[in-house]
Structure 1
């Protein structure tokens, strides 16, 4: 008895249908996996807020206030992690290269997210394109401080000595080519003076040397400088704010002392890696704005001599960042600081 030959076309159809069914099953599994991920509440794990400067400084304290305020809203711990060095570039590069899963954010500022793009030629990330902003948190106004035993009783005294003996008067910054370095070099150029730049890792590190007179001048946040002034350790010469500070109305601005229009307001905000889903950015924005509406949080910020930002959207923050990048690009150009 002879078996009937198989129809090749029938066999091909059966094989194709089997393969197609398998492909549909695989695709369905992939779709289910993606759907499960999409339906997972965000955040489902603790978040890390990376701070570019050392523990104990103003930036670190601000970040910890924000982290604690966001935790109840996000229903997850927010861990502050300090990554110090290269005027903030080490921390920013780390965050820029992490997965855009909304679980790692940068507590960024002028240096990390605007200025360094124009001062560091080999920057391992690009501030203007490698981040998406969740929102602005605060504005920070700095004051000029010298040791209480310093011979300089005013900004004019200090500049007169710097003109008489170029390079002898020293000033600190939190790192070469950073915000404080560029702003002060711009001021010294306006003043026709030459000062010696001494970089430090952060505000908390400079205090012993400033009090002892080993460095002549430092820019500091008002809260720390005022505390040391009240202890008889420092003398304040000026604020770099656009106008006198409500918390220190007797302290003149730099602009009042012969440099009309000069001001250096800085800021801090929350930034996520490029590619972070918009829904995650919105969630963090809502948590940040919740912190800004928290009276206890804003009181702590104001007590530091720092101004809380108004609640803001990611879109408003993006527009603000575009203006700030242009402002600092121009300041670098006018300061004479050479990118390295």
Structure 2
């Protein structure tokens, strides 16, 4: 039998051992928590440059707009905001790059109708699915587009184009910025409504198509108002119709397609910011606040107005719901275009 003294000594030793185990456990927990706080997952965002991916060529209107917004966004976020062009496949190359990027808020898509809606509806091999792979940040703006011809073209109105196309099948050509992109679909839809056949010539961007439009090798360009207005004023191009819901503020004398005999026609082109789908809501909200900060900048507003661009600004949920509605509208246009979209 153990004596009472031995029992007390053993109990004291056991208590000291228990205290050591508890201290070790607490120390391990605190170290683990500290390590977690200092890890990249918990680092302050942003702590490095943010890249805005423009899926079209440098110098085009989309690129110009992205660079215009980057400066005030950078001021608010306190980190560099860099614009990077990744061109090709009607915007699919740049969009796919963003879709497959880390969902950490550092890679942002400056995309629109083509990248966010049409590619997945018209190109089966598109390497991403916008509804699954993107999270909405916010709508940026709408951009006015016009149909233009070279200054000495015989086409002085959309009616002239339709008349020529009806008289001679496949006698009128037009350019777009990508096969089965929004401009291709818009013109295919218009040709279906008019009952004519137009020849499609896809280009990588409006800058690439301009020489052929100016030379008349392509009859019609469907291009942005900011890109074409200087050339119209210089007498090098003539605008024959605006494709949006209303006339452009920069070209108020140019009628819409709706006013030119197709009252239900409208081709609003919009641009927004998106990030990979699993991006944290807190980071999306911060990017949205940076977007609104940029759109409220007086210099940005005046320059966008001068470019014929209408700022929008919306919440992530509003932009997401808007894209759902747009997807249904464009899907209907695709179905009604039928074989015209194969040209």
* TM-score (structure 1 length as normaliser): 0.90
| 1:10-29 to 2 correspondences below 5 Å | 29=31
Residues 1:112 and 2:127 are matched in the alignment: no
CA distance in 1, matches of 2:216, 2:25: 75
Partner in structure 2 of residue 306 of structure 1: 309
Partner in structure 2 of residue 333 of structure 1: 335
CA distance in 2, matches of 1:98, 1:107: 14
Question: Residue by residue, what CA displacement relative to the aligned partner does 1:261-310 show, whole Å, maximum 9, x if unpaired?
Answer: 1000111111000110001001100000001111110111111111111x
CA distance in 2, matches of 1:141, 1:224: 10
CA distance in 1, matches of 2:54, 2:41: 29
5+ residue gaps, structure 1: 1-13
CA distance in 2, matches of 1:277, 1:200: 36
Match of 1:100 among 99, 103, 112: 103
Question: Residue by residue, what CA displacement relative to the aligned partner does 1:55-114 show, whole Å, maximum 9, x if unpaired?
Answer: 000000011001112110011111111010000000000000000011111001000001
Number of aligned residue pairs: 323
Moved more, 239-248 or 153-162: 239-248
Deviation, structure 1 residue 26:
6.7
What's the C-alpha RMSD, in Å, of the aligned pairs?
A: 2.1
* TM-score (structure 2 length as normaliser): 0.89
Partner in structure 2 of residue 154 of structure 1: 157
5+ residue gaps, structure 2: 1-16
CA distance in 1, matches of 2:62, 2:84: 12
Partner in structure 1 of residue 289 of structure 2: 286
Partner in structure 2 of residue 124 of structure 1: 127
Distance 1:230 1:33, change over 3 A: same
Match of 1:245 among 226, 239, 248: 248
Partner in structure 2 of residue 68 of structure 1: 71
CA distance in 2, matches of 1:232, 1:144: 15
Deviation, structure 1 residue 181:
0.3
Secondary structure of 1:152's counterpart equals: coil
Distance 1:23 1:199, change over 3 A: farther
Deviation, structure 1 residue 245:
2.1
